[in-house]
Amino acid sequence: MHVYRDIDIGRLQEILNRIGNVKAGLIGDICLDIYWHADMRKSELSRETPHYPLPVMEERMSPGGGANVAANMLALEPQYVEVFGAVGSDWRGRELIKLLENLGIRISGVVADPNNFTNAYIKPIRKGYSDVEYEDPRLDFASHTPISPEMEDRIIAVIDKKAGELDLLCVSDQLPFGVITERIREYICKLAQQGLRVVADSRDKIELFSGCTLKPNEMEGVKASGLKMSKLNDVDDFSKAALILSGKICGGVFMTLGAKGSLYTDGVDVWHIPTGEIQSSIDICGAGDSSLSGFGLSLAAGADPWEAAYIAGLCSEVTIRQIGVTGTASREQVLCRHHENSRYI
């Protein structure tokens, strides 16, 4: 196994600069994250029910799911980011479209589904007299109905119009009844076989993206390989799973390992990319999104896969230190994090 710990600063700047030429697409389950901040000091017992309501004093919204991947891609300043996906004909869909447009993300590939609602995650956060904040159970708006064949036709049609222009297509397949149906997945694999660079992240079906480059985390990768997680506890063990998965799909596998860093294999050799030291509180929400964006864009900019994996790690190390938000990593933040890591090598 090769160990890749560092990249020359000149090479890093070259790759980041080349990202500016990349025409990038994202297809997947785009969602809306909604934060409701309640001040419990203002709550009064309801006269109708024996409950204290949550007085919401602030509402924040941000792109979630695949939309957050697109936001992370945009933060690295490619030539453009085009999103392909679906929203419902509801206010959450309108808010999500508005957020993406305001960021500068292209949304002509987003279609409205009149038979489903927009996927959204609502996070009620309550605060009292102390500085302690408490997050209530999340409220999820997630479809439990497959999209129709007509919706599949519309999504494939909008990608068909743009695929020839793209240098990169990232896939964010997160929901059981999302837009990545069997038919659309087969279409994506066909694009990869025709030469489009596709980097796929799938929560439950990553082993089915034949011919694509995969980005599972360690649990997803082990499950897809057929090995048992309880028997895997070190980098060498995870590398066996990555090699098996690479053989299944005949493509490269970039597997993130949390605090252990990441692995990349082309099916023959394996590279281990250790993570940098984090000396602060962290919030891992969205780390996989930033990793997918950094890895895919770096590959499309001409980086070797192990270089792309190192840059993806920098992106994740930036975003996990942004507490309470699904953050992004800019080129400047990536360079700054690289300088921090260099002190520990």
**Which class would CATH give 2-32+63-118+143-342?**
alpha beta
Give the model's pLDDT for residue 232: 77
**Residue 340 pLDDT greater than 90, yes or no:** no
Torsion on CA atoms 34, 313, 244, 168, rounded to nearest 10: 70
pLDDT tens digits, one per residue of 7-33: 999 999 999 999 999 999 999 999 999
Per-residue pLDDT at 345 exceeds 60: no
Q: Over the chain, what is the mean pLDDT?
A: 92
Structure tokens at 258: 């949390």
Dihedrals phi, psi of 142, to nearest 5 degrees: -130, 130
Length of the chain: 345
Query: Region 316-326: what's the mean pLDDT?
Result: 76
Q: Could you read off the pLDDT of 189-236 as tens digits, one per residue?
A: 999 999 999 999 999 999 999 999 999 999 999 999 999 877 777 899
- Which stretches of 22-103 are assigned E, i.e. beta strand? 23-28, 30-39, 56-65, 80-88
| Residue closest to 106 by CA, chosen among 167, 23, 181, 188 | 23
Domain boundaries, the chain: 2-32+63-118+143-342
pLDDT at 5: 85
Q: Dihedrals φ, ψ of 87, to 5°?
A: -130, 165
Structure tokens at 10: 């000149």
Distance of CA 49 to the CA centre of its chain: 41
Burial 11-25 (b: 16+ CB within 10 A, else e): ebeebbebbeebebb
Six-digit token string for 324: 């309470």
- Classify 197 as helix, strand or coil: coil
**Digit-coded pLDDT (tens) for 117-175:** 899 999 999 999 998 998 999 999 988 889 999 999 999 999 999 999 999 999 999 99
pLDDT at residue 319, rounded to an integer: 86
User: What's the rounded mean pLDDT across residues 76-100?
Assistant: 96
